[in-house]
Homo-oligomer: A and B are copies of this chain.
Amino acid sequence: MDKLPRNERIATLVKLLSDSPGKIFTLGGFAEMFGSAKSTISEDIDIVGNILSKLDLGHVETISGALGGVRFIPSMSKDRAVRILEGLCAELCRKERLLPGGFIYMLDIIYNPEWIDDIGYIFAGHFFPKSIDYVVTVETKGIPLALATAKHLGVPLVIVRRNSEAAEGASVSINYVSGSSKKLQTMVLSLRSLKRNSRLLFVDDFMKGGGTAKGIAELAKEFECEVAGIGVLVETAEPNKKLVEEYFSLLLLQKVDEEAGVIDIKLSPNWSRI
């Protein structure tokens, strides 16, 4: 790259760092990329950190030592997260979303890159300190949310399937009981998917009884891995007692009154705890 004015270096650094959260960049590497002195780059990084904080995207952390450098840690202020989630609640409570059987149409939200990116950012900020190695989800509806979270954490995504496929090689399969319907279900994961001793973040769009989350914890054990966090977009108020103890939900589905045409979704009580 040709020698760039500070304007352009700063903009490039903001883009590079924020696009690769968690990744360690060395000042030497940047100095070479831009043909500038390390001291100049160091000043640039201060400005970049300041900009990323002002944009409420996170902060730049300096790691000292031989393997040191700088890395971007994603986070979002509680204020902004609450604003996003309140907007999401308002959208989800629109009565046109009511489906027969008391279901709520959510596909346009959970497949929309803009919503998903914001929600994934909230999860990434919350779970970054947990040193996550992989984000795990079960097909299908949670995949976009899990991918956005993985991207903002800078880790790979793993998708657990309902049936095994030849194209994925040898796999581990477990049976588990759904928390709400008490139906026996199957989960399959390719043996090559996870390195042993990894820390997993399970992400899903919806949690009722928590059976799927519990199933994931059992599957993780077969891979000698640990579920270090569970993040769900919407949890239901009933059953109050889930099959997993600790999880982080964004929204709480209180009630659906099909006859009256009322959907009652609000911010999860988690939001007063953090």
Contact = CB atoms under 8 A, between A and B. Distances in A.
Nearest to A168: B107
Contacts of A48: 11
Contact of A111 (B1, B55, B100, B159): B159
Contacts of A161: 140
Contacts of A54: 1, 4, 8
Interface in A45-71: 47-48, 50-51, 54-55, 57
A22 to B, nearest CB: 11
A236 to B, nearest CB: 12
Interface of A: 1, 4, 6-8, 10-12, 14-15, 18, 20, 47-48, 50-51, 54-55, 57, 99-101, 103-108, 111-114, 116-117, 139-141, 143-144, 147-148, 150-151, 154-159, 161, 166-169, 190, 192-193
A47 B107 contact: no
A92 to B, nearest CB: 13
B12 A10 contact: no
17 contacts: A8-B47, A8-B50, A10-B10, A11-B48, A11-B51, A14-B15, A15-B18, A105-B190, A105-B192, A108-B156, A111-B158, A113-B151, A113-B155, A113-B157, A140-B140, A141-B159, A147-B147
A25 B55 CA distance: 17
A269 B216 CA distance: 42
A167 B99 contact: yes
Contacts of A192: 105, 107-108
A100 to B, nearest CB: 7
Contacts of A51: 7-8, 11-12
A48 B99 CA distance: 46
A16 to B, nearest CB: 9
A41 B260 CA distance: 50
Nearest to A4: B54
Given A6-B7, A106-B167, 10 more contacts: A8-B50, A8-B54, A11-B11, A12-B51, A20-B114, A103-B166, A103-B168, A107-B192, A108-B192, A139-B139
Contact of A105 (B103, B107, B169): B169
Contacts of A108: 156, 192-193
